[in-house]
Structure 1
Amino acid sequence: MNNLPNFTTTQYSLEKIFRMIEEGNIKIPQFQRDFVWDKVKAARLLDSVLKGYPIGNLILWKTKDRLRSLRNIGNINLPEPKEGDYIYYVLDGQQRLTSLFAIKKGAIVAKENQKSIDYKDIYLNLSLPPDTDEDIVTMEKNYEFDCITIYEILNSKISSFLDKYGKDKVDKIETYRNKINNYSIPIVELTDCPLDIACTIFTRINTGGTVLTLFEIMVAKTYDETRNFDLSKEYERLINSNGECKDLEDSNYDTIPESVVLQCIAAHIKNKVSKREILRLNKNDVIESWNIVKERGIFPAVDFLRNSIKVPVSSLMPYYSLLVPFSYFFIKNYEKNGSETTSNIQTKLLTQYFYWASLTNRFTSGVPAKIEQDLLKMDKIVNNEPPDYPEEELKISFEDLIEKRFSTSEAYCKALLCVYAANNPLNLRNNSSIRLDNSWLRRANSRNYHHFFPRAYLRRKDINDDKANVILNIILVDDYLNKRVIGAKPPSKYIREFMRENDDIEKALRSHFINDVEKFGIFNNDYEAFIQERAKVVSRRLRSLLRPKI
């Protein structure tokens, strides 16, 4: 019950709200959307204020937590509050509050691909009575009437207007200034509740907006200006540091999502990775663990996946979640053995785990609980002990392998693509290495994926797509070979063409688990023989990975 939010209602004058913003006590958290209101909406809002119309309440979260928040509104820098002071974060009312403050300060707001908006250029028509149905606040100065900017009204001495406007209009200006400053806005204060509750409230009251992600919440929670820690920027540098330091783009692992990185941190800190546990992470623990998780966990794990299991790019990973137990292992292994390298036994056991988890579609559901179970398997591997697996899950079904349709969204297929990639596939034309790239491997119609028996050819032979589009009919090639040389030719034709150019084509074919041209039915275009024979070779490789000799 302690997590239930405590609401109080009160009223603040606009003058008080402006002062709180200027003193740094009212802040807009970084997870709020960008300021999007234009001058038309801002002018109409102020017109409502001057006429005493209600403009809705504000919801503020009162807390001593320091979150990542907006540092400026346009060209107006916002100060930080005093240490120990309460901060009021805006959960609802950002656009209204920002518009009014921008007018008060005469802010110049630049929007991407748009002309800058100068909020000094919002005028009040002194010729109209306050109770008119017309808008007394306008965006353009009308030279037929006496107009004055709202910025001048709120920021200049009243006496400075006498010479230009005369006493009657100066009295009206003073009345308008008082109306703005004394305008009362209903405030709903949410006091000292946990960040995740505040974020849930924000999401629910902003039903038309984007639901906050766990990462956005944790970015807000862990922000620390004094230690120069911003989780969103740290993640950006982890993916791509623009040459400043090692990053995942250097390894072609730049598609690792934010959520997985959070789980890597949580696994290291508390061996638990659920959303609930991540939200409970202590800010200082996250900051202090960041470099450890990055340098001793994620980077060594990626290096192992690339160099030992030979998963060349992150898009081929059957599950990004696999990075979590691997990162956990390398941190624990470093703590125990003082080294990032693995023993021969550990290499085999980690490879076994990778293929077991992938071929059993382990992380299709219940991911956090399964990761937590698998951390115990990693503890065993750290000690050079084989984890326990259900016997049935270490067997390869020959029938399932033959019938498995090709899909880059399924872990089983991706595991087989990893097996193909780990065999160092060669170009059939010249035995050069195949270049695999994240940008090419995300979709099933990627130029890296070639049906050895082209589907267009098989359709002409009345073999339907269910039988043609199977994983055992897939090899990894480069774009040029796939689209421009092979096309829809039968293998008997294009393999003979390559044989005239490549006198060691058998080596290239073996790199694709095609061991015997005759036996695999290539020269007589025997698709059934090809699938059966390739299944035998691939299944042998899978068995060796799932049942390593220790």
Structure 2
Amino acid sequence: MTSVLDDRPSATMFTVENLVNMARSGEIRIPHFQRDFRWQRQDVVRLFDSIVRGYPVGSLLLWRRPAPKQLVRLGSLEIQAPSVSAARWVVDGQQRITSLASALIPEASRDPRFALAYNLREQGFVPAPAEEEPLIIPLPVLFNLTRVLQWFQKYPETSEYVDQANNITQTLRQFQIPAYEVTQNDVKVLQDIFDRMNNYGKRLSRAEIFSALFADDEDIKNRLTFDKIAEHLDEDLGFGSVDNDTILMAMLARRGPDVKREIRNEFIENESGTRGQPGRAIIDFPEEARDTAYELGEIAMRRAIHFLQEEAGIPHFGMLPYRHLLVVLTRLFAHHPNPDPRSIRLLRRWFWRAAVVGPEVFKGGTTGAVRFLVFAVKPNDLQGSIQELLKLVDYPETPLPNLRRFRSNEAATKIVLCSWWANMPRSLDDGNAFDREDLSEVLLDRLTALDAVRYIVPRSSIPHEYRMWAANRALVPVVDSNATTIESLVTQRPLRLSEAAWRAAMASHLISSEMVTLIAEARAIDFLKARQAALQMQLNTFLERMCEWKFENTPPLTSLLIEDLEEED
């Protein structure tokens, strides 16, 4: 029999003020089958901009039912919520409600995704500055009438903007969002509604479907999710925010080589009484439960990321040329957690050859690459796995990345950035070498390294044909820098730096004294040509060292000795 709702939905309107107050009191809850919070800062900005413009922001679907006393998390907001007899569980609208609550409630707005302010002069939403600026009002202040008045009393020179600020405050507080509320005892019906609503519009990602399929009751505390794994990897290793689909693929690769297999049966007992895929799919850990798979998957990813950072020279996820290489490494380090030094070197050689060659050499592109590479990793044969991986990327005549096209979201540019990182770039302000923590702090939740790259001379002063060149960029991960270029730091030595320290800092960015002179004489094209040549030479040297194309892929001596003994036996 077809399931129907116990009661027809009731339509109502909630102001933003209503929703924020309900979130603060613990009346808003998130059901276990909901997707994790996935918006980034630009999505939150777009939501608030739509509200101020009076644009529709969609409707909500809320599920009325009791809720226990528990710790509730909405984005960066944590509430010790009491038991509620008729809580509002968010079936559709989690991203919007979470963004509103986290950006407008002071204790939650410290998270960079939600730390927003309104620029009265520019009339737009911007990231909250590190220090107070009179014309840039943080959203938790702007949302509170009393605090807005106190702000203008503190900065009387901004009084001409009082009316504008009051209008924005009133708009934010009184903006109405339509909602449907349903009462339903059968959770399967609500899951069905959730699935249908999300598939009518933007389809759920594979990771979101997987998370919803294997979610459990809300009262299981500290249960690992893909979001939590990503958070742990970023907080502990400073590697940045790995996306959920990559985490899912890495976890699947650890458990079996076919990462495109049917996921709906991953932890379901089949007819033989074992968990996992029935039929043809290969599962290396068929008895493994969901929580164990998540925990051991995170451990394997940690080992893979440690290799990337310490051995391969990839400091941050935003500089990883191809995500599928992390998936392959996760499987390898899951089955071979402690490779010997020679194997590590061969593995680094494979990684960089695969990065330079790219997935195009495989039939099917990235899909084919991840399939062939993951299948090459055998659980009980480390040396055989590495040798097979090397054979798959044996293309020594592959062209090197083009320095005339610098785009931070392209693999070639990420390879170039890693070569710059290997040169240990230094601050032109204090002479200190940047470290991974500097990079992680600047990039936050970014998926590329764009925010850590600065122009050397203004882009507008360069002819169009040279604007894409890498020569006018430098890897300078500085937090809260308002300058778009570093021209002044290049042409004028800071007084705090000695001549030797300044030259060392310049050399770390491959900028010579002659290049400085060219900039000072406004010979921008000559500067670009000279630095482009230096960057090309440095890139060639870096990739020769990493790829080792001319070296034999000889396995460790110990493995050869063991093979000889087996033949004698």
State TM-score, norm by structure 2: 0.53
Instruction: Tell me, yes or no, if structure 1 residue 261 matches structure 2 residue 247.
Output: yes
Q: How far, CA to CA, are the matches of 2:196 and 2:216 in structure 1? A: 27
User: Residues 78-477 of structure 1 correspond to what in structure 2 (within 5 A)?
Assistant: 107=86, 109=88, 203=195, 208=200, 210-224=202-216, 228=220, 233-240=224-231, 247-274=233-260, 276-283=261-268, 284=275, 285=288, 287=290, 288-295=292-299, 297-334=300-337, 339=338, 342-362=339-359, 366-379=365-378, 382-383=383-384, 385=387, 387-389=390-392, 391-392=394-395, 395-397=398-400, 401-403=402-404, 405-434=405-434, 435-437=438-440, 439-440=442-443, 442=446, 446-456=450-460, 458-459=461-462, 463-464=463-464, 466-477=465-476
Q: How far, CA to CA, are the matches of 1:210 and 1:252 in structure 2? A: 31
SS, match of residue 409 in structure 1: coil
Q: Name the aligned partner's letter for residue 264 of structure 2.
A: L
In 2, are the aligned partners of 1:431 and 1:505 still within 8 Å (CA)? yes
Q: How far, CA to CA, are the matches of 1:280 and 1:517 in structure 2? A: 63
Q: Using the TM superposition, give the Cα deviation of residue 431 of structure 1 relative to its aligned residue in structure 2, in angstroms.
A: 2.6
Q: Considering only CA atoms, is the larger Rg found in Structure 1 or Structure 2?
A: 1
SS, match of residue 372 in structure 1: helix
Q: Name the aligned partner's letter for residue 417 of structure 2.
A: L
Q: 1:360 to 1:302 in 2, by over 3 A?
A: same
Instruction: Tell me, yes or no, if structure 1 residue 536 matches structure 2 residue 537.
Output: yes
Q: Name the aligned partner's letter for residue 455 of structure 2.
A: H
Q: Using the TM superposition, give the Cα deviation of residue 255 of structure 1 relative to its aligned residue in structure 2, in angstroms.
A: 0.9
Q: 1:374 to 1:390 in 2, by over 3 A?
A: closer
In 2, are the aligned partners of 1:513 and 1:534 still within 8 Å (CA)? yes
In 2, are the aligned partners of 1:352 and 1:546 still within 8 Å (CA)? yes
CA shift digits 1:93-136 (9 cap, x unpaired):
xxxxxxxxxxxx9835488689xxxxxxxxxxxxxxxxxxxxxx
Quick one: percent identity of the two aligned structures?
Answer: 19
CA shift digits 1:466-525 (9 cap, x unpaired):
41332243221243797559645595x34x6689743233433343345x5448975764
Listed as ranges, the gaps of 5+ residues in structure 1 are 1-7, 15-27, 35-69, 78-104, 115-184, 191-197, 242-246
SS, match of residue 204 in structure 2: coil
In 2, are the aligned partners of 1:451 and 1:475 still within 8 Å (CA)? yes
Q: Name the aligned partner's letter for residue 268 of structure 1.
A: R
Q: Name the aligned partner's letter for residue 230 of structure 2.
A: I
Q: 1:107 to 1:416 in 2, by over 3 A?
A: same
Q: Name the aligned partner's letter for residue 470 of structure 1.
A: W
Q: 1:480 to 1:218 in 2, by over 3 A?
A: closer
SS, match of residue 240 in structure 1: helix
Q: Using the TM superposition, give the Cα deviation of residue 394 of structure 1 relative to its aligned residue in structure 2, in angstroms.
A: 5.1
CA shift digits 1:213-262 (9 cap, x unpaired):
3223222332355995997x433432336xxxxx4322123411111121
Q: How far, CA to CA, are the matches of 1:357 and 1:381 in structure 2? A: 18
Q: How far, CA to CA, are the matches of 1:518 and 1:480 in structure 2? A: 29
In 1, are the aligned partners of 2:314 and 2:320 still within 8 Å (CA)? yes
In 2, are the aligned partners of 1:329 and 1:382 still within 8 Å (CA)? no
Q: Name the aligned partner's letter for residue 422 of structure 1.
A: A
Instruction: Tell me, yes or no, if structure 1 residue 505 matches structure 2 residue 502.
Output: yes
In 2, are the aligned partners of 1:31 and 1:220 still within 8 Å (CA)? yes
CA shift digits 1:167-199 (9 cap, x unpaired):
xxxxxxxxxxxxxxxxxx9x9x99xxxxxxx98
CA shift digits 1:434-455 (9 cap, x unpaired):
2212643738895521233442
Q: How far, CA to CA, are the matches of 2:2 and 2:305 in structure 1? A: 52
**Equivalent residue for 2:20?**
none
Listed as ranges, the gaps of 5+ residues in structure 2 are 8-29, 37-61, 69-83, 91-96, 102-183, 269-274, 276-287, 554-569
Q: Using the TM superposition, give the Cα deviation of residue 266 of structure 1 relative to its aligned residue in structure 2, in angstroms.
A: 1.2
Q: Name the aligned partner's letter for residue 419 of structure 2.
A: V
**Equivalent residue for 1:75?**
66
Q: Name the aligned partner's letter for residue 469 of structure 1.
A: M
Q: Name the aligned partner's letter for residue 418 of structure 2.
A: C
Q: Using the TM superposition, give the Cα deviation of residue 348 of structure 1 relative to its aligned residue in structure 2, in angstroms.
A: 2.6
In 1, are the aligned partners of 2:258 and 2:375 still within 8 Å (CA)? no
Q: How far, CA to CA, are the matches of 1:530 and 1:485 in structure 2? A: 19
Q: Name the aligned partner's letter for residue 277 of structure 1.
A: E
Aligned residues: 365
Q: How far, CA to CA, are the matches of 1:480 and 1:474 in structure 2? A: 17
Q: How far, CA to CA, are the matches of 2:296 and 2:503 in structure 1? A: 46
In 2, are the aligned partners of 1:266 and 1:277 still within 8 Å (CA)? no
Q: Using the TM superposition, give the Cα deviation of residue 326 of structure 1 relative to its aligned residue in structure 2, in angstroms.
A: 1.1
Q: Using the TM superposition, give the Cα deviation of residue 419 of structure 1 relative to its aligned residue in structure 2, in angstroms.
A: 1.9
In 2, are the aligned partners of 1:449 and 1:476 still within 8 Å (CA)? yes
State TM-score, norm by structure 1: 0.54
